[in-house]
Structure 1
Amino acid sequence: MVRGVHFLVAATFMGLAFSLAYAYDPSPLQDTCVAIDDPKAAVFVNGKFCKDPKLATPEDFFFSGLHIPRNTSNPVGSTVTPVNVAQIAGLNTLGISMARVDYAPYGLNPPHTHPRATEILVVLKGTLYVGFVTSNPDNRLISKVLNKGDVFVFPISLIHFQLNVGHTNAVAIAALGSQNPGVITIANAVFGSNPPISADVLTKAFQLDKNVVDYLQSSF
């Protein structure tokens, strides 16, 4: 009897642990939860107020414009067009989003992470060198060159990047397992934080001269 109770308790905790480990976005409890800014007569679910499902319209689930090339005239030579709950209110509680990424020749989507989502990327045009780095202590780089029609997966929260290695523009579409995956661009976060991280921290962490750290911080 005692052994049976112990097994039941262990099974319960294992189920709870599995739930906590894999359920990043809450499962929806209704068919729709269109996000709105006005809290009047609304229900607050997963960080957004929800419209009465009976008042949902097709526009709540619609976005247009991913076919439009974006301007990549910036220091890194890439532009991300997100389509998440901020663009499609009807995505609220559904746990998915997507993005278009445009790359100039040799443009880079810099090393970054999505703290709340795994990403799957498909190349629509061009040739990309992509990769991600595994966690400590191995920090192993897993990378590959992708061509049109190729697909690559970046596991949740791991640092990853894409570089256009072709002579022409490139385009990719990404799908992400969260309505709001978040983005932490490593260089921006480390050298462009507000207020700045102490130069003493960065010189020791990166084994750089303080003048180099000062220059990098001024660049961001």
Structure 2
Amino acid sequence: MSFFSTLLLVTNGFFHRYLQLCREDVFRRYSSKGNTTIAISFNIAVLLAVLVAIYVTVWPSAHFKELVRTIEFFGLDLGRTSFIGFSIKHSITPMNMALIFNVMVLTGILLWIDILCAGSINAQLRSSAFSNKLRSLQRQMFILLLLQAAAPIIFLQIPYAIAIFYLFTGHSTTPFISVIIGVLLALHPLIDPMLVLAFVKDYRIYILSKLNIRKSPKLILAKNNKIVADEIPKVYIGPITAISS
């Protein structure tokens, strides 16, 4: 679920950037509160569909939990252990297969959108007559999107694939490999905000100012523009003599 939600957020970022750079007319036409609400509702519906698929297909049933409690395993209380997954023998039903296929199709569609949007954005940045500063900024944001898309693969999918490989091949992991897999999985929630802070200067300055590591730009500007009363030049006016005619 963590991988799919991250993939959905990255797809939204690619599609939003694609509309801004490649389809500016469409972006202006549909940039309203109503269309934003529709987009948010669509994202929620997709997440709910995946949650339903996970709950129906891989969540342990009551019968399975009762069966596990009857099994005795030395040094491990199976009754208090978490289980998730599906059994090829007992869990493969037409409904479960349809739900799993639906999740696979949704994942494929999101990846296809990411690839198309990334290609269009890259082509637009190469061909459009942007100023050097604007082109540099847009390319920086494009690199940020690519890194955000790569983060779930590096920190979720690769460690998960390694763990599955060791599980189904019967090989034993070393303590070092187990620690690396655990660290990579735990680091994923931290990586995305760190990428944003590294690439977006305004966010970085705001966070540093809130942590009192760096002064806020507003305070610096106010301090530089402060008027000191003692430094105001004084103008002396001499005595005025009234002349009567």
Indicate the structure whose relative CO is greater, using CA pairs within 8 Å and at least 6 residues apart.
2
TM over 0.5: no
Structure label with greater radius of gyration: 2
TM-score by length of 1: 0.24
Using the size of structure 2 for normalisation, the TM-score is: 0.22
Structure number having the greater strand percentage: 1
